[in-house]
A and B are shown apart, each in its own frame.
Chain A
Amino acid sequence: MIDIRSIRKVFNQGRPNEFTAIDGVDLTVQLGDVTVLKGPSGSGKTTLLTILGCMARPTSGRIFLLDREITSLPERFLTEIRRQTFGFIFQRLNLIKGISALENVMAPAYPAGEKFSSLRKRAMELLDMFSLTHRAAARIEWLSGGEAQRVAIARALVNNPSVIIADEPTAHLDTRLSREFMEIMKKLKEDGKTIIIASHDPIVFDSDLADAIVEMRDGKLVRVGATR
């Protein structure tokens, strides 16, 4: 269970351009569930995701991951948790151009110092899982939109995280690719992964896959509801 308590995030605090992106959010995410954060642009979905995924620290409030408080952790511990627990799929994919699909998938695992051969083997297995074995050596800029998206998902899975965080993953995809993405998420859920998706795409939040829909507006939770 991921428990978020009274989270606030203020940017440029104390300056004329101060902006409160998250304002006192309390939320519980059940492990193994698919939770969708829904809301218009600027509602605080991405900020909440980055705080949840330990990529940013809140201004106030605490987050508990499996009853362990993680917001107070010094950076070295937070990095470890971020690496081991969370896999990120970004809106613009953020794949590294100029290197191959395989190298992109392997990149997040390099700091762990794993043996190269075993890491490469695991990355190849992930690419195989997404039917991309034949594209392993291809540079990112040579891949189609769908292939690039699957590489991004494979990269998110390389450290075998228990939680997948996806920020507007279908924003730049057509309907077919969006549905394909949701199919992949369904498979990951069946594998026991916890999935948190921020999206204002009906394909995502109207999907049968979502266990909980969290509606946000102006940095606050408007509605939290189970879909079933």
Chain B
Amino acid sequence: MILHPGILALLLSSLLISGMVLYSATCGIGILRGWDINSGSERQLFLERKTYLISTILGYFLAFQLISLFLFVYTADSICPLFVGAMCAVGTLSLNAYGYPVLFCKTANFILAGLWLILNHVDSRGYDYPLLKTKYRLLLLLAPFVLGEAVLQAFYFLSLTPNVITSCCGSLFGAGTTSLASEMATLPAFPMMAVFYSVTALTVVCGILFYRTGKAGLLFAGLSGTTFIVAIISVISFISLYFYELPTHHCPFCILQQGYGYVGYPLYILLLVGTVSGLGAGLLTPFRKIPSLAAKLPPLQKNLTLSSVISFIIFTAISSWPIIFSSFTLEG
């Protein structure tokens, strides 16, 4: 294993997070089975105190889970000079079979942990623990992913051997291979642009509609999720080309490097914030019927919607900047 501060931080944090998530999920099972708000029994009062403590501590752990996605990508990017053939995080992630599964797991966990934090925040606004059971069910869903991520990440870092010759992003996202990444890279740029701008515009319009009327919440959630997928494909398909000003360089990781002003970080942060906020805002809609949340949920949903819409707009603006203002063109 390579002793790099980022790797040590990631391994240690994932150990702590998965330990806490496992403990909380175990307690969650007890809470799901034994919770009875109408009871004044010793067990019920114990569970009330316990859930308050667990939720507070877990909130901090999952907040770090969000950050760990970017720390992972940054670490993968920063150790690439140690491996022959690696030019960015792509090369580092391709070193063994665990690299990309860890990345996908971390991305899924970012979204799930973000949604859990939103649920927890909303639950704490109700006087009768209104989303308690939903919150712990989501935690039970999240737990295997977090544990899986910790195991995969450990395998990934422990299996890193500097004498392996790896591939650079040019080969993975090039037109010559038959991988999913390659297929995304070879999608026709202009139709993909049309899809990207249409989906983003639709999401923003739907978000504004939801913000103003409180209607179409689930549609907005669905569109936010769709925007995330379309935006990732678009980054690979055409957005990255304009940043690199190279018609064949589709890497979604090189934009995280200093040479491109680390523009990838704000792009991905905005995209993930927009997605999680949008999903959260929409998915909370059915809980408006709960009396203790009836007055508090709509303003919270509005804030989330606003955050989502603004994030998507800024993401689109940053992505469009080189398309509009650089001299690079894909035409002809």
Contacts and interface: CB of A to CB of B under 8 A. Distances in A.
Interface of A is mostly: mixed
Given A6-B40, A60-B40, A62-B40, A74 B52 contact: yes
B331 interface: no
8 contacts: A57-B45, A59-B42, A60-B41, A60-B45, A61-B40, A71-B40, A73-B127, A74-B52
A130 B115 CA distance: 54
Contacts of B40: 5-6, 60-62, 71
A60 B128 contact: no
Interface string B209-233: 0000000000000000000000000
Interface of B: 37, 40-42, 44-45, 48-49, 52, 124, 127-129
Contacts of B129: 72, 74
A76 B124 contact: yes
B127 A74 contact: yes
A6 B45 CA distance: 13
A58 interface: yes
A75 interface: yes
Interface of A: 5-6, 8, 57-62, 71-77
A58 B52 contact: no
Given A58-B45, A74-B124, 18 more contacts: A5-B40, A8-B42, A57-B45, A57-B49, A59-B42, A60-B40, A60-B41, A60-B42, A72-B37, A72-B44, A72-B45, A72-B48, A72-B128, A72-B129, A74-B52, A75-B52, A76-B124, A77-B127
B135 to A, nearest CB: 13
Contacts of A61: 40, 45
Q: Which 9 A-B pairs have the closest CB atoms?
A: A62-B40, A60-B42, A77-B127, A61-B40, A73-B127, A72-B48, A60-B45, A59-B42, A60-B41
A61 B46 CA distance: 11
A222 to B, nearest CB: 23
Contacts of B52: 74-75
A153 to B, nearest CB: 30
B122 to A, nearest CB: 12
A11 to B, nearest CB: 14
A159 to B, nearest CB: 20
B124 A71 contact: no
B125 to A, nearest CB: 8
Contacts of B49: 57
Nearest to B48: A72
A5 B52 CA distance: 23
B124 A59 contact: no
A60 B42 CA distance: 4
Contacts of A62: 40
Given A5-B40, A6-B40, A60-B40, A71 B45 contact: yes
B53 to A, nearest CB: 10
Contacts of A72: 37, 44-45, 48, 128-129
